[in-house]
Structure 1
Amino acid sequence: MSCSMMKSLFGHKAWANTELFDVLETLTPGPDAHTAIRLMNHIYVVDRIFQAHLLGQPHGYDATNTKATPTLAELRGAVAEADAWYQEYVATLNEAALAEPLGFNFTDGDTGTMSREEMLMHVITHGAYHRGNVGQILKNAAIAPPRDLLTKFLHIAEPARRG
């Protein structure tokens, strides 16, 4: 995968998260809202775990979610910060850096090795999967989820592509 594509994917991720948080703010507090926040927090925690892997640092997590559930506002700010970090990070990479294998520890203490590209793609696909789960929660609550589409993002980010 090219560095250019990585930039597009992480731009899309940040945009999709913003769109989803906008809609989540309309969800009535209750079990559905709690489940949606837990899912979004899980995405965030995994993003931070893989950020640490990419930096070669310990992540400090013993699970892929936190015991306490943050407020929607707290989580939105933290996710925006993580998204900005990833966008800045992928902007610094070249093809050789993407291919470099990195060793790390999973939350269960087991070890693993993945290339930077594999880690970054995991972050992208993992987040997209769980945003889809949150979208289903919204549908079940009779709220239309945002259209989490790369094509929509690209046309918003670069309107000249529509012509």
Structure 2
Amino acid sequence: METLAGLDPSRGAAERHAAIRLMNHIRVVSRIFAAHLQGVAHRYAGDNTPDTPEPRALRAALAEVDRWYLDHLETISEQALAEPIAFTFTDGDKGCMTRQEMLTHVVLHGGYHRGEIGRMLAGIAVSPP
């Protein structure tokens, strides 16, 4: 996020915007799955927000969700990891994953999109962090 926040908004403006949107998508999906893991409703109508957050605010929000997952992993048992959880995707489709599958999904999903952002940055001659 520091790299995105430090970019001149006029340099690769479309790529910068898309990268911030993808980081926000990572955050939203992470929050949605955190809600599923807690058995509570989330407030998202889709897998991103209508507005694009400022990079510094997004960085803080990402740190908050990362902290939630780290704290969650400190307390979850192996037995709980195997529990299936039924849920509804934001498009209305039904899903069911174990807690472990959800955690794996969140990690792989975030890593995939971070790699995508790295390629975007390389495309505008910015070295990824």
TM-score scaled to structure 2, two decimals? 0.93
The residue number in structure 1 matching 2:113 is 130
Tell me the percent identity: 53
**Pairs aligned (count):** 126
What is the Cα deviation at residue 140 of structure 1?
A: 0.8
Aligned partner (choices 18, 26, 37) of residue 54 of structure 1: 37
What is the Cα deviation at residue 25 of structure 1?
A: 2.5
Q: Distance in 2 between matches of 1:25 and 1:66?
A: 19
The residue number in structure 2 matching 1:25 is 5
Q: How does 1:102-121 map to 2 (within 5 A)?
A: 102-121=85-104
Aligned partner (choices 80, 91, 98) of residue 97 of structure 1: 80
Q: Distance in 1 between matches of 2:57 and 2:22?
A: 14
Q: In structure 1, the residue corresponding to 2:3 is in which secondary structure?
A: helix
Q: In structure 2, the residue corresponding to 1:25 is in which secondary structure?
A: helix
Runs of 4+ in 1 over 6 A off after TM superposition: none
What is the Cα deviation at residue 68 of structure 1?
A: 0.6
Q: Distance in 1 between matches of 2:127 and 2:56?
A: 21
Structure with the largest fraction of helix:
1
- What are the ranges of 5 or more consecutive residues in structure 2 without an aligned counterpart? none
**Structure with more relative contact order (C-alpha pairs < 8 Å, separation 6 or more):** 1
Aligned partner (choices 53, 72, 87) of residue 70 of structure 2: 87
Q: In structure 1, the residue corresponding to 2:52 is in which secondary structure?
A: coil
> Match for 2:4: what amino acid?
L
Q: Distance in 2 between matches of 1:109 and 1:58?
A: 14
Q: How does 1:70-81 map to 2 (within 5 A)?
A: 70-81=53-64
TM-score scaled to structure 1, two decimals? 0.74
What does the per-residue CA deviation read over 1:22-70, in whole Å, with 9 as the maximum and x for residues that have no partner?
2222322121211110000000000000001001111121110111111
> Match for 1:145: what amino acid?
P
- What are the ranges of 5 or more consecutive residues in structure 1 without an aligned counterpart? 1-20, 147-163
